Amino acid sequence: MHMRAQDDVVGSGRADEPRRREPAGNGRRLRISWLIVLVVAFLLVPQLVSLVAFGVDAVSGGYLSVRTALASEVLPDLGGAVIAVAAIGWLHWGRVVRLETRRARPWVMVVPLSLIVLSAAMTDYENLLEQGPALVLVLVAGTFCTGLSEELMFRGLALQAFRGVTREGWAAMWSSLLFGGLHLVNALVSGPAAIPQALFACVVGYYLYLTRRAAGGIVLPIVVHWLFDFSSFSGELGLEEPRTSDFAFYEFLLIVALGLLLVLRRRRISSAAVDVPAAESSTGVPAP
């Protein structure tokens, strides 16, 4: 059977490429309903533990101080990473989460490279120099834990679960939407402003999905996510009010430009056909 053009979210490889199956494995099955339960636990359990340990003020403090950063960022994200790793281990999904066989063509590396350059440009080096080394180290640790936990959950567990029940393009879309939906919890603090944040996260989530396919595994998405978050929080580290920056406009331009590039080259994303039947999961077990 030949691959259909809609197999990628913004397109796929040549329409005449043959179907290619994911290598079989011996992993367990993860139903989508249980994936949702897992994501809720990933979000709530570490936050509740941190809330009990540190109190409301510390948990809502962000990167204002070492204590608030540990309470609101480092420990919750570290707990989320523990939950994700435990789930990956129980499912026996270590290999399929760590390695990517559905490779994109080399030019798609422009996506992660662009995000890395943007992160380097957006970083508020002046503010970092003004803060103490302990607070900067906490920012490094906290943003790394965020990248690690969210990539393992969304470009790891969620993507593989959706791949088990639908085609590649839909799996990419649903895992990216789920990632964006996670950011709607910011509405508790920022109100309606969380909606565009969530939409932005959906788009970035798709770019991180392409990063996984371009790089051949989960490591580069973790690194890109880490650097992106580090640069984003560098301007508010230790400050009651974040510094204003013109880079938000350039960030928007880059995200739009990458989107246009991907649409124009949508049929040249995949290096080979990516069309696995819904009856087979990427771990080699029957789909629910």
Q: Residue 17: is its pLDDT beyond 60?
A: no
Task: Assign 143 a pLDDT band (cuts: 50, 70, 90).
Answer: very high
- DSSP 8-state class, residue 267: G
CB 153 within 8 A of CB 221: no
Beta bridge mates, 280: 286
- Which residue, 254, 257, 260, 261, is CA-closest to 116? 254
Q: How does DSSP assign 12-49, residue by residue? A: -S-TTPBP-PPPP--PPP--HHHHHHHHHHHHHHHHHH
| Mean of pLDDT values over 228-233 | 94
pLDDT tops 70 at residue 204: yes
Q: How is residue 254 written in tokens?
A: 């880059």
Closest CA to 265 of 194, 214, 192, 205: 214
pLDDT value of position 189: 64
13 pLDDT higher than 90:
no
